[in-house]
Structure 1
Amino acid sequence: MQTIAPRSRPPRLWQLLLVLLAMTGLFLAGAAPTSAHAALTGSDPKQGAVVDRAPDQVKLTFSEKVAMSDGSVRVLDPSGKRVDTDKTTDLGANTYGVKLRPGLPDGTFTVAYQVVSADSHPVAGAYTFSIGAPSDTKVALPDQEAGGGLVGGLYDTARYLSYAGFILLVGGAAFVLGCWPRGAGVRPVQRLVTAGWVTLTASTLVLLLLRAPYTGSGKLGDAFDMAKLGDVLNTKTGAALVSRLLLLAAAALFIAVLFGAYVKREGPGQAAEKKDLTFGLAIGGTVVALGIAATWAMAEHASTGIQAGIAMPVDVLHLLAVAAWLGGLASLLVALFRTTAVEASAVQRFSTVAFTSVVVLAATGTYQAWRQVGSWSALTGTSYGQLLLVKIGLVVVLVGVASVSRRWTGRIATEASGLAPEAAAAVVVEQRTKQTSGQASRQTSKKPQRKPAAKPAMKPVTVPASGQDGDDPERSAQLARQQAAMDSAREKRIRDADPYRSGLRRSVLAEAGIAVVLLGVTTFLTATEPGRTEEEAANATTAAAAQRSGPLQLKVPFDTGGTDGKGTVQLDLDPGRTGSNTLHLYVKRPNGSAFDVPEVKVSLTNEAKDVGPLPVAPDHIATGHWSANGVQVPMAGTWKIAVTVRTSDIDQVTVKKNAQIG
C-alpha cells in the first residue's frame, strides 16, 4: 500500500511579511550613513589658514539655505573656551556669520557648527584656523555625526513606519471605496486600514518628540524637554508634523464612517443613501489624503532646490500613486488570503487602478529624478544616484511581477457552468470529497469481509438553541467552536481549490515582498543628499581649493642675537601644490634692504603624516636672494616650514611656520 507523506503546512501571511520586514531592516542596517543635504562650501577664515590678526567674525557659506539659531556655530580657543558671542547672523547668499570677542590670543581655533538644511536634515562639522601661528588644542569634538546614534536609528525607523502607515491607510481605504465596496464589512480589511492609521499616528508622534534630539544634542532624554519641543513647533518640520496629526484626527472620523455607517447602508431602500455617502467619503477622503501627503512635500526634498512650486504638487501626486498601488496591493493580498468573498470584478478594477498608478509614478518619478540628480555623472557617481538606480530596478521587477498578476486577473472569470469562482471552487471541493469517499469505499470492498466492531453512528455537529431546558453552556460553546473550525477549514479548501485565485495569491504575495523592500530603499533615499546638491557642493569645494592653491608666500622675522642679526625672511613657493615647486627666498634687513647672509637652509615637515623633515638647499642667485627648483611636496596637508638663517660664524637661528600646501 502506497503511503502519501503529509503536506507541510505553508507559512502564514504574517510570518512571510515579518521575514520580508526583517530583510528590509538588515538592508537598511547595512547601508552607509546618510549624507547631509547641505554642505559647507566656503569659510572665512578658510580651513587650515594662518592669519596675522584675529578676525572680527567667522563666516560660513553653505550649498543651500540652512536653519541656524543662536549657538549653532561655536568658536573655541586652544584651551576649549568659547570665544564667540553666541549670536549668528544671516549675511545673505547662504552665508552666515558669528561675531568673535576682542583680544583673542595666538594659536589654533576650532569652529564647530550644527545646522538644519532646508529639507529638514541635520548638518554638522568642524574645522580649524590659526592666529599668528598654529598651536596644540585641547578641543575634543564628539565622534557622533548629526542625526546618528540611537536617536538617529529611532528617527529613521519612525520615518519608515510613517510611510508604511500612510500607504496602508490611504491605499486600503481607496481599495475599499473604488474597487471593493463590500470589503468595508470584511474584518481583516478593516484591521489593515486601522493598523495603517495607528502606525502613521504613532510614528508621527515619535518623529515630533525625537525632532529636537535628532537635530540637536543626540540625547534621547531631550525628547521630553518641553522647551525644546516648543522650539521644534516653530520650525517648518514641526508645523508639518502637527498638521499631519490634525489631519489624522479627520482620518479617524473617515474610518469610523467607512466601517460603520457605510457598511450599514445595505438595505434595498438605501441605495440612494449609500451612493450619496460614497460620494461624500470619496471627496472627504481625497482632501484628507492630499493634506497628509502635502506634509511630506512641504518639509522635505520637494520644498527646496529648483522649481519648488512645481516639485511639491508633483511629490504629492507621487505619494498618492504609491499609496493607491501598494496600499491597494496589501488590501488585495489580505482579501485573497483571509476571505473567499472577493469578486473577480474587484480584482479587475484594482488592476486598472494599479496600471494607472504605475503610469503616474513613471511620469512624476522621471521629473523628480531629473530635479534631484541633474546629470548622468551624478546618477552614477553619487550615493543618491546609485540608490535611485536600485529603486528603478526594483520598480521594474515589481512591474514585471504585476504583469503576471494581471494575467491571473484575466483568467479569474466564471467557469463554463456560469458559477462564480468561489461557487465553482465549492463544487470542486464537494466533488473531491465524494471522490475520496468513493475511493475509500471501493478499497474497503476489496478487502476480506470482516465484521467490524459496532461503533456509534456519527452525527452532524449541531449547536442547541440557547435557552432550551437542560442546555449545557460548556457543551454548547464546545460545539460552536467545532462548527467554526469546520466552516473555516471548508473556506480554506474552497480558496485552495480555485487554481486561478491561488496563482494570483502567489504573484500578489511576491509583489508585496518586493514592495516592502522598495519602501525601505525609498525611505533611505529621502534621507540621502540629492545628487545635484552633492555634485554642486563638490564643485564648489574644488573651486575653493583651486583658489587657495596658488603661489605660497610667507614672511617670518628672525633674530640671531648677534650684531646685525635681525631681519625678515620671505619665502615664495610656486605653484604651492603637491608635486614639483619652485622656491625663492628673500632675506631683508629691518629697513627693507637686501641682506646677504652667509647661509640659508630650508626644510619641510608634515607631522600629521610623519613625513620629513625634507631638506632644501637653495642656491644663491643675487644679493639677499636664494632659489631652488624641483622642490617636491609629496602630499597635501599642513606642512611646517623651517628656515635656518646664519648671519655670522656663530650667530644662527631657525624660525618655523605652518602652511597649508595643496
Structure 2
Amino acid sequence: MAAEPLTTTGGRTTARRLLLVLAALLTALLAGAAPASAHAALLRTDPGEGSVVPSAPSRVLLTFSEGVLLSSDSVRVLDPSGKEVQQGAAQHADGATDTATVPLRTGLGNGTYTVAWKAVSADTHPVAGAWTFSIGAPSKTSAALPRQDVGGGAAGVLYGIGRYVAYGGFALLVGCCAFLAVCWPRGARLRVMRRLAVGGWAAMAVSTLALLLLRGPYVNGTGLGGVFDLGAVRSVVDTKPGTALLCRLLLLAAAAVFLSVLFGAAFTRGAWAGRRNLAVGLAVGGTAIAAGLAATWSLAEHASVGIQPGVAMPLDMLHLLSMAVWLGGLAALLTALYRTAGIEREAVRRFSRIAFGCVCVLAATGGYQAWRQVGSWHALLTTSYGQLLVAKVALVAVVLAAAYVSRRWTGRLAEQDVPQEEPEPVPAAGPAETTSTNPARAAQLARQRAALATARARRRRDADPARTGLRRSVLAEAAVAVIVLAVSTVLSGTEPGRAVEEAAAAGAAPGAVPVSGGPVFAAIPYDTGGANGKGTASVHIDPARTGSNELHLILTDPAGNPVDVPEVDLSFTLRSRGIGPLPVKLSHAGTGAWTAESVQLPMAGQWQLSLTVRTSDIDEVTETKNVAIG
C-alpha cells in the first residue's frame, strides 16, 4: 500500500519532535546513570579488613583483581583521632601492578585505624573504598570515612556525556565520509552533507578536549573546580587514558586535512577515474585515521584488559569501525533523504549492501566480546553489564527490523535517478533591469531560479511513495540507533560480568569496598511462650558500614515499656560469603537497654541478625532478620 507523500515541512516537524523525545531519553539515561562501577575489585588486604592485630604493622597492602594506576595519595591511613599516619606515597608492592602499599609510621598506639584508598583500574575507570583494622583492641574513632566521589558527581555526569558525544562524533565523521566517498560521491558537493561530516569532527574534537580537562576531577572526585588545574591535566597526560585522549586530538588534526582534501576535490563518480592516485591515497589515509581513532578506545578500555587482549583489541577496533560506518552512514542517508533534493537509487542500494556487511561484522565481533566480558549465562542475567548487553541486543534487533523495511522500500524506488532539470523560466526583466545594468536584479533572478528548481525537484522526490516510505523507515532506524549508542556508552563504563563473578569467587564484594553506609533500624517481635514472654526488640546499627559500628538494643513489652530479661544474645552471619556467626558482646546500659560500642562487620552485604531472648529458665526463642550493611 502506497504511503502518503511526506512534505518537507511535515518531515522537519516530525524530525524536531523526535529529536526532543530522544534528547529527554538520553538525558535520563546518561545523567541518571550511576557512576562507573569498579572494574578492579579489592580482593585482599593486609592487615585484614576488620581484623585485630597484636602489634603495629609496618605497612598496609591492598591486592586487586587487576592492575591499577596509583597517585601519590591513593592510600591514606588515619589513626583513631583522624590524623594521617602513612609515610610517603603509595606504590606497587614488588612491582606488581595489581597491588598498592604504603609504609606506616613507627610507634602507633592501640585502637582502630581507617584506610581510605582510590585508584584507576587498568581499563581507565576510577575505583575507591575504605576499611578498618585495629591494633591491640578496637576503639572508638573520630576518623570519619571520607566520601570519595570518584567517577561520580557533576564531573562524572559531564564525563559520561562527553564520552557519548565522542562516540557520536566518531560515528558521524567516519560514517559520513565513507558514505560520501563510496556510496554517493555527488553528495560531497552539497553543503549540508559537508556540514554533517565536519559537525562529527567538531563534536569529537570538543568532547575529547573536554574529557582531557574533566579526567582529573572525574578520577580524583575533586569537583569541577579542578577542571582548569594545569597540574592535574599534566598528570592525566602521563597516564594511559590521558595519552589515548592526546593521540585522539592529534589524529583529529590529520582528519581535518583529510576532510579538506575530500571536500576540496568535490569528487563525482567520473572524477574518481581521473584522479585514481588521489582516490587511492584518500582511501588509505582515511582508513588509517579511522582505525587510529578507534584504537584510542580499544587500547585503553575494556578490550585492553582481561583475557586474550591480543585478540580482543583488534576485534574491538573492527567492531567500532563497523558501528561507525553503519550508524554514521545511516545519519548521512537520513540527511540526504530529508535535506536534499534527492539521492539516486543506486547510492541507497550500495549503502544497504555495505550496512548489511557491517551488521555481520558487528554480530561476529559482538558475540566474541559478549563471551569475553560476560563469561556465563548467570552473569548475563544477574549483572548490570549482562542486563545492559541484553537491552542493547534487543534495541539492535529493532534497528534491524526497521532496516528490513528500509530495504523493501529501496527495492521499490523509481528507476530514474534524481532529475537534473533546467529551472523554470521566470518573467523577463525590462530594459532598465537587464543584468548588465542591474547586478542586484540579476542576483535576485538567480536566487528565484534556484528556489524554483529546488522546489520542483523536491515535489518530484515526494511524488515517489517509495522515497517517502524510505525516509520514514530510515528515520525510525536512526532514532533507535541513537539510543543504542547511548546504551553502548553506559555499557563501556560498567563493570564486566566476568569481573564481577571472579571478584565474588575470590571473596570480594562486586565492586569497590563501600565508603559509607547509613543507620539501620530493625524491629524484631519475639514470643518465648512463657509468662511475660512477648515483646519487641528494637535494634539500631550506626553507621551500618563495613568496619566498626555501634549497636543499641532495646526490649519493650506489648505496652511499649522497657523490660529487662535474664539473657539476650545477638550475632551476625553473612551466608553468601560463609562468614559467621559473629557474636556481639552486649553491655547492659539500663532497663531494657544494651549497647555494643564496636561491632566489626568486615564486608558489605545482606547480613542475618540472630537475636536470642530468654525470659525464664525454660522460656527462650531465637528470631532472625536481614539487615543491609554498606
TM-score by length of 1: 0.75
1:163 aligned onto 2:167: yes
Unaligned runs of 5+ in 1: 1-5, 415-419, 431-458, 545-603, 619-629, 645-653
Paired residue secondary structure (1:610): strand
Describe the shift of the 1:356–1:54 C-alpha distance in structure 2 as closer, same or farther (beyond 3 A).
same
Q: Report the Cα offset of residue 632 of structure 1.
A: 5.6
Q: Report the Cα offset of residue 657 of structure 1.
A: 7.5
Describe the shift of the 1:483–1:26 C-alpha distance in structure 2 as closer, same or farther (beyond 3 A).
farther
Contact preservation (8 Å) 1:177, 1:278: no
Question: In the alignment, which of 219, 225, 229 is matched to residue 225 of structure 1?
Answer: 229
Q: Residues 142-291 of structure 1 correspond to what in structure 2 (within 5 A)?
A: 142-143=146-147, 145-263=149-267, 272-291=273-292
1:121 aligned onto 2:88: no
Q: Residues 286-365 of structure 1 correspond to what in structure 2 (within 5 A)?
A: 286-365=287-366
Q: Which one-letter code corresponds to 1:305 in the other structure?
A: G
Contact preservation (8 Å) 1:616, 1:631: no
Q: Which one-letter code corresponds to 1:145 in the other structure?
A: D
Paired residue secondary structure (2:132): strand
Contact preservation (8 Å) 1:36, 1:122: yes
1:380 aligned onto 2:387: no
Q: Residues 36-115 of structure 1 correspond to what in structure 2 (within 5 A)?
A: 36-91=38-93, 92=96, 94-115=98-119
Contact preservation (8 Å) 1:262, 1:277: no
Question: In the alignment, which of 561, 570, 585 is matched to residue 641 of structure 1?
Answer: 585
Q: Residues 526-565 of structure 1 correspond to what in structure 2 (within 5 A)?
A: 526-541=492-507
Describe the shift of the 1:20–1:134 C-alpha distance in structure 2 as closer, same or farther (beyond 3 A).
same
Unaligned runs of 5+ in 2: 1-5, 511-538, 542-548, 556-562, 575-579, 589-594, 608-630
Paired residue secondary structure (2:260): helix
Q: Report the Cα offset of residue 383 of structure 1.
A: 0.3
Contact preservation (8 Å) 1:463, 1:479: no
Q: Report the Cα offset of residue 324 of structure 1.
A: 0.9
Paired residue secondary structure (1:71): coil
Q: Report the Cα offset of residue 422 of structure 1.
A: 3.6
Contact preservation (8 Å) 2:176, 2:331: yes
Describe the shift of the 1:461–1:514 C-alpha distance in structure 2 as closer, same or farther (beyond 3 A).
farther
Deviations 1:74-132 (A, max 9, x none): 00112211100133232238232111101112222111001000000100111112222
CA distance in 2, matches of 1:325, 1:185: 22
TM-score by length of 2: 0.78
Q: Report the Cα offset of residue 635 of structure 1.
A: 5.4
Paired residue secondary structure (1:209): helix
CA distance in 2, matches of 1:335, 1:349: 14
CA distance in 2, matches of 1:241, 1:185: 32
CA distance in 1, matches of 2:234, 2:225: 15
Contact preservation (8 Å) 2:110, 2:135: yes
Residue matched to 1:34:
36
Contact preservation (8 Å) 1:639, 1:659: no
Residue matched to 2:390:
389
Contact preservation (8 Å) 1:107, 1:135: yes
Range that drifts further, 339-348 or 480-489:
480-489
Deviations 1:404-436 (A, max 9, x none): 11111111241xxxxx15449x99xx9xxxxxx
Contact preservation (8 Å) 1:387, 1:521: yes
Residue matched to 1:433:
none
Paired residue secondary structure (2:585): strand
Deviations 1:145-178 (A, max 9, x none): 3111111111111100000000000111111111
Question: In the alignment, which of 18, 21, 31 is matched to residue 19 of structure 1?
Answer: 21
Question: In the alignment, which of 449, 462, 471 is matched to residue 438 of structure 2?
Answer: 471
Ranked by relative contact order (alpha carbons within 8 Å, sequence separation 6 or more), the top structure is: 2
CA distance in 1, matches of 2:247, 2:97: 31
Contact preservation (8 Å) 1:43, 1:59: yes
Q: Report the Cα offset of residue 341 of structure 1.
A: 3.9
Contact preservation (8 Å) 1:463, 1:480: no
Deviations 1:509-549 (A, max 9, x none): 000000000000000000000000011112222699xxxxx
Q: Report the Cα offset of residue 63 of structure 1.
A: 1.3
Q: Residues 417-456 of structure 1 correspond to what in structure 2 (within 5 A)?
A: 420=416, 422-423=418-419
Question: In the alignment, which of 472, 476, 486 is matched to residue 506 of structure 1?
Answer: 472
Residue matched to 2:459:
493
Q: Which one-letter code corresponds to 2:373 in the other structure?
A: Q
Contact preservation (8 Å) 1:73, 1:86: no
Q: Which one-letter code corresponds to 1:490 in the other structure?
A: R
Q: Report the Cα offset of residue 339 of structure 1.
A: 1.6
Describe the shift of the 1:34–1:342 C-alpha distance in structure 2 as closer, same or farther (beyond 3 A).
same
Q: Among all aligned residue pairs of Structure 1 and Structure 2, give the percentage whose two residues are the same amino acid.
A: 53
Deviations 1:621-658 (A, max 9, x none): xxxxxxxxx966255698652589xxxxxxxxx99985
Contact preservation (8 Å) 2:570, 2:583: no
**How many residues get paired?**
538
Describe the shift of the 1:467–1:660 C-alpha distance in structure 2 as closer, same or farther (beyond 3 A).
same
Q: Which one-letter code corresponds to 2:478 in the other structure?
A: A
Q: Which one-letter code corresponds to 1:43 in the other structure?
A: T
Highest Rg: 1 or 2? 1
